Amino acid sequence: MQIVKNTLKKLGLHRLYQFLHTIFFLLPRVLCEETKLILTLLTNGRYAKDEDVVLASLRTCAHIIDKGLQADNWQPDRAISFYSECVKNIKQLEKSTLNSDDSYKWAKEKVLEYEKVQETSSPLHLDYSNIHNNEHTRQLLRDIITSRRSVRSFLNKSVDADVLKELVSVVNWASSSCNRQPIVLHITQQRELVRKCLNQCAGSTCFSEIEPPCFIAVCVDIRFYRLADRHVFIVDGALGIQNLLLFAHTYGIEGTVLNWMQATRREEKKLREMLAIPKYERIIFNIALGYPSKAMPAPGRKEVTKTYHIQVKAK
């Protein structure tokens, strides 16, 4: 392939090479990967009894009955099938170590609330109170968002384990489809392992001599998804990681997202082996994380007027 590329370049036919490369290499590969994903999601039923999957199902069903409880047009027995599924899932997990999980406790509370509402016909509606509706908070958050940077020059300083735990703690507070909370982070700060992991990422270029002290493989547990949701997990993962990156910035820590969409089968296999990533977790991208050794200028941003459209007339 390299010989063909060089030959066509010399002949001034680089565009022809790009076309042939897309048709005969990239397209078959993309179609193959998409087919593999579809087949994986079609066979997710084999994981139905796994405790993590049961807990995810419980979160989803509790989320659905919670929506019904909050609805202005509430009706008795609304979402009754999801209530029944919640009860079944709670029973399956009541003797599991997962019964101490906060999402399990929340789901149990929603089931009790649902049962109470069926008796009283009076859903509980809490008054909305936004304690952060002030200029100081808005400016602070805006500053955090606009001053965060992707950096490639790091100090030779690891991230404390307690700080890492704090960063991870905000991931699941992001929105996720039907409250699935599918993100799993595989983290290493072992220098040699970080180097080997970075070597699997085509985007890990232009780093300083001091390599990033921390490598994170961002994965999502696709056991929680159906065929119709086959690309939703990428959105769920990205939303959660933005929380982590912004929170890291408040600690003086920055992260650079490394593209994984173009990873080869060999790179995928090696990274999975090195970080012991199970087959039911999908790697969506990776992060190089650490304390920056120098400031980075902000890239220009697209005009805000090119970012939105407000429809003023009904079509």
Task: Enumerate residue ranges in the chain where pLDDT < 70.
Answer: 1-14, 16-17, 21, 24, 315
pLDDT tens per residue across span 3-25: 655 665 666 666 766 777 677 67
Angstrom distance (rounded) from CA 118 to CA 84: 14
* Predicted pLDDT at 126: 73
| pLDDT tens per residue, range 109-163 | 999 999 999 888 777 777 777 778 899 999 999 999 999 999 999 999 999 999 9
The pTM of the full predicted model, rounded to 2 decimals, is 0.89
Judge: domain 149-290, CATH 3.40.109.10. yes
pLDDT of residue 16: 67
Q: What is the pLDDT of residue 30?
A: 83
Please give the share of the chain, as a percent, with pLDDT higher than 90: 71
Domain ranges of the chain: 2-42, 59-120, 149-290
Average pLDDT over the chain reads: 91
